[in-house]
Amino acid sequence: MLYCYAYLCIVFGVLGEEQGLDEQGLDEQGMPLADAGAKAAVLVEALPYIRRFWGKVVVVKYGGSAIGHESEALASFAQDVALLRALGMVPIVVHGGGPQIGAMMARLGKVPEFKEGLRVTDAETLDIARMVLVGKVNREIVTAINVHGSLAVGVSGEDAGMIQAIPRDPALGFVGDIARVGPELLSRLLAQDLVPVVATIGVDEAGQAYNINADIAAGAIAKALSAEKLVFLTDVEGVRADPADPESLVSSLTAADLDYLLGRGSITGGMVPKVASALDAVASGVAQVHILDGRVPHALLLEFFTRSGVGTMVVA
Ligand SMILES: Nc1ncnc2c1ncn2[C@@H]1O[C@H](COP(=O)(O)OP(=O)(O)OP(=O)(O)O)[C@@H](O)[C@H]1O
Ligand SMILES: [Mg+2]
C-alpha cells in the first residue's frame, strides 16, 4: 500500500510537469506555482479510494466514440489504466468501435444500418466489424497501454470460449446475445498481473462468430468476474434527460428513471444498451456503475480517486 501511495505521488508529480511545472515548482515563466498543500490534499483525497479498490476487479468499457475523439485521448486513457493497475486495482478493458467500423464500411462503400442502437450485421459487415475490432481498435488500445510497461494482452470474445453467443434476431443478422461469459481466460490473465483488453466478438457452439454489443458484454464480464466497479466511457457527459440539452445531465439514474426516460423517447441509439447493461450490473451486485465522458482527459482518474462526482451514477 505504501508503495502505491509513493507511486501516486510520482504520477501526480508527472501530471504537474505536464502542466508546465519544473521540479522547483516554477512554471515556464518562472512563476512559483506548486501549491504543496493542494498537491498533498489531492493525494490524501486519493488514499481511501486506493484502499477501497485494492485488489478489486474493475471493468472499464471504452467507447469507440471516445477513442477517436482527439489524438491524445487514447494516450490519456492508457495512462489511467496503467495507473489503476499500479495502484493495486485489477482492471479489465472492454472496448467498442462503432465509429471505426462505420468509417471502414464507408471506405468499402457499405451503408451502415441500425435497429434500436444495434448494427444490422450481414456476413460482410461481420467480417469488417471483426477485422476492425480485433485487428485495429484492440491493437491500438493494447499498444497504448503497453507504453507504460508490459501489461496489456488483447483478446477477442472468441478466445478460449470467453463470449458464448446466440443469435438475437434474424432481422439483425450476425448480432449475438450473450449465452454465457466463460471467466477462465480472464481469470488466468488477471492471475498473471496482466490487463485483458477485450474485443467483443462472440461465437456460438458451431463456431459461427457474432458481433456483440460492447456495453452488454462489459456488463456481463463485470458480473462474471464479480467486479466491484463498472465504468462506461463514452462521448457524452452522461445520461441526459433531454438528449439535445447538455445541461440536462442526470447525475443518478434508477430502473424507474430509465423506464420513464425510455417511455418519453429521451434515451435512444447507443445509450439504450449502455443503460440497460448498467442497470443489469447493479442489480447483479456490481457495487458501483458509472457512465462518464471519456473525452475528458483523465476521466477515469477523476472518477476513481476524487470526490467530485462526474457523469451519471446508475443505482439499483
Ligand atoms: N438521453 C441520452 N443522453 C446521452 N446520450 C444519448 C441519449 N440518448 C442517446 N444518446 C446517444 O448515445 C451516444 C453514446 O452511445 P454510442 O454507442 O454512440 O457511444 P459508445 O457506446 O461510447 O461507443 P461504441 O458504441 O463505439 O462503443 C451519445 O453520443 C448520444 O448521441
Ligand atoms: Mg455504443
* 65 touches ligand 1 (CB under 6 Å): yes
Cβ within 8 Å of residue 299, ≥6 positions away: 80, 233, 292, 293, 310, 311
CATH 3.40.640.10 fits 55-314, yes or no: no
Please state which of the ranges 15-24, 37-46, 223-232, 263-272 shows the lowest mean pLDDT: 15-24
Q: How does residue 306 score in pLDDT terms, banded at 50, 70 and 90? A: confident
Q: How far is the CA of 264 from the centre of ligand 2 (A)?
A: 21
Task: List pLDDT tens digits, range 29-87.
Answer: 555 556 788 888 888 999 999 999 999 999 999 999 999 767 789 999 999 999 999 99
Sign for the pseudo-dihedral over CA of 132, 135, 136, 140: positive
**Beta-carbon neighbour count of residue 41 at 10 Å?**
11
* 112 touches ligand 1 (CB under 6 Å): no
Interatomic CA distance for residues 147 and 130, integer angstroms: 25
Q: Over 50: is that where the pLDDT of 13 sits?
A: no
- Ligand 1: which residue has its CA nearest to atom 20? 63
CA angle 45/57/225 to nearest 5° reads 155
Q: What rounded mean pLDDT belongs to the chain?
A: 89
Mutate to test the pocket of ligand 1, among 271, 293, 312 (most ligand atoms within 8 A of CB): 271
Q: Specify the ligand 1 atom closest to the Cα of 100.
A: 26
pTM score, two decimals?
Answer: 0.90
Q: How does residue 159 score in pLDDT terms, banded at 50, 70 and 90? A: very high
Q: How far is the CA of 274 from the centre of ligand 2 (A)?
A: 7
Kindly list the domain boundaries of the chain, sorted by start residue. 1-53, 55-314
Contact 59, 186 (CB under 8 A): no
The pLDDT assigned to 188 comes to 98
